[in-house]
Amino acid sequence: MTPSTFENLWQEVLSEIKNKLGEKTFNIWFNEFSPKTFIHNSLKIEVPSKFVKDWIEKNYFQTICQIIKSKFPEVKAVEIIVNSEKTTIIRQKSTVFKRLQSLALKTSKGIFDINPQTNLNPRYRFDNFVVGKTNELAFTACQAVVKNLGSLHNPLFIYGPVGVGKTHLLQATGNEICKIYKNLKVKYITTEDFTNQFINSIKNQSVEEFRFRFRDVDVLILDDVHFLSGKISTQEELFHTFNFLYNLSKQIIFSSDRPPALIPDIEERLRSRFEGGLIVDINPPDFETRVAILKMKAQEKGLELENEILEYIAEKFTNNIRELEGVLSSIYFESQLNKKITLEIVKEIIKRFSKEVYRKFTPRKIIKTIVNHYELKEEEVLLKKIRNKNLVQIRQILIYLLREYAQLSYTSIAELLKKDHTTIIYSYEKVVEKLKTDEALKQEIEILKSKLNEV
419-453 pLDDT per residue, tens: 888 889 889 988 988 887 777 788 788 788 777 76
Q: Judge contact between 199 and 164, C-beta under 8 A.
A: no
Residue range 247-269: mean pLDDT, rounded: 93
Residue range 362-369: mean pLDDT, rounded: 88
Looking at per-residue pLDDT, the higher value among 220 and 31 belongs to 220
Residue range 285-313: mean pLDDT, rounded: 88
Domain 3-94 matching CATH 2.120.10.80: the answer reads no
Looking at per-residue pLDDT, the higher value among 289 and 94 belongs to 289
**Partners of 280 in beta bridges:** 158
pLDDT digits (tens, 9 = 90+) for 101-157: 454 444 444 444 678 889 898 889 999 999 998 899 999 999 999 999 988 899 999
Residue 160: half-sphere exposure toward Cβ, Cα within 13 Å = 22
pLDDT digits (tens, 9 = 90+) for 366-397: 998 998 888 788 877 776 565 666 788 889 99
How high is the pLDDT of residue 238?
A: 96
| Residue-averaged pLDDT of the chain | 83
Looking at per-residue pLDDT, the higher value among 51 and 296 belongs to 296
Residue range 288-315: mean pLDDT, rounded: 88
Mean pLDDT is lowest, of 219-233, 244-258, 308-322, for 308-322
Asked if 126-281 and 359-454 have one fold, the answer is no
How high is the pLDDT of residue 85?
A: 55
pLDDT exceeds cutoff 90 at 348: no
Query: How much of the chain, in percent, has pLDDT values that exceed 90?
Result: 32
- Give the pLDDT band (50/70/90) at residue 337: low
Q: Which CATH architecture has domain 359-454?
A: Orthogonal Bundle (1.10)
Looking at per-residue pLDDT, the higher value among 47 and 100 belongs to 47
pLDDT exceeds cutoff 60 at 84: no
Domain 126-281 matching CATH 3.40.50.300: the answer reads yes
For the chain, the domains span 3-94, 126-281, 299-353, 359-454
Mean pLDDT is lowest, of 2-11, 195-204, 241-250, for 2-11
SS3 track for the chain: CCHHHHHHHHHHHHHHHHHHHCHHHHHHHCCCCEEEEEECCEEEEEECCHHHHHHHHHHCHHHHHHHHHHHCCCCCEEEEEECHHHHHHHHHHCHHHHHHHHHHHHHHCCCCCCCCCCCCCCCCCHHHCCCCCCCHHHHHHHHHHHHCCCCCCCCEEEECCCCCCHHHHHHHHHHHHHHHCCCCCEEEEEHHHHHHHHHHHHHCCCHHHHHHHHHCCCEEEEECHHHHCCCHHHHHHHHHHHHHHHHCCCEEEEEECCCHHHCCCCCHHHHHHHCCCEEEECCCCCHHHHHHHHHHHHHHCCCCCCHHHHHHHHHHCCCCHHHHHHHHHHHHHHHCCCCCCCHHHHHHHHHCCCHHHHCCCCHHHHHHHHHHHHCCCHHHHHCCCCCCHHHHHHHHHHHHHHHHHCCCCHHHHHHHHCCCHHHHHHHHHHHHHHCCCCHHHHHHHHHHHHHHHHC
**251-256 vs 278-281, strand pairing mode:** unpaired
Distance CA 284, CA 152 (A): 27
How high is the pLDDT of residue 55?
A: 83
- Give the pLDDT band (50/70/90) at residue 189: very high
Counting every residue written for the chain, the total comes to 455
Q: Judge contact between 56 and 63, C-beta under 8 A.
A: no
- Give the pLDDT band (50/70/90) at residue 338: low
Distance CA 152, CA 166 (A): 20
